[in-house]
Amino acid sequence: MSERRFVVVDFTHMSRAGCLRLYEAGHSYTLPRAVAHAATKRELVAMHRPAGWTPPSMFRQPEVLTEAEVVEAGAELKALGRLALEVVDPEAGS
């Protein structure tokens, strides 16, 4: 699955296949869910262009989103998915 995000700050990500991808600020991209989640946690992307957003300086180096961050975000998404699907037993209350 993938999610569309607006890139707030330039960043790079190395895929598992070893391909380096540059995401440029000011553009919207379709990102894999784990990459979108990890980038959102680092405030590199937003759902939509924020009001009053201005592009970062062209002299600013791109942020680096590591594979470890993406793997961790993927695990969080899986855990959240499992929690959402758990059956709640009202008789097993505290």
Helix (H, G, I), strand (E, B) or coil at 9: coil
pLDDT number for residue 82: 79
Q: How big is the CA angle at 74 (ends 20 and 65), to the nearest 5 degrees? A: 35
Distance, in Å, from the CA atom of 30 to the CA atom of 16, rounded to the nearest integer, reads: 17
Furthest CA-CA distance within the chain: 60
For the CA atoms of 57, 61, 66, 69, the dihedral, rounded to the nearest 10 degrees, stands at -30
Over the stretch 33-79, which tens digit does the pLDDT of each residue have?
999 999 999 999 999 999 999 999 989 999 999 989 999 999 998 88
CA 82 from centroid of its chain's CA atoms? 19
Residue spans of the domains in the chain: they are 2-87
Full-model pTM: 0.81
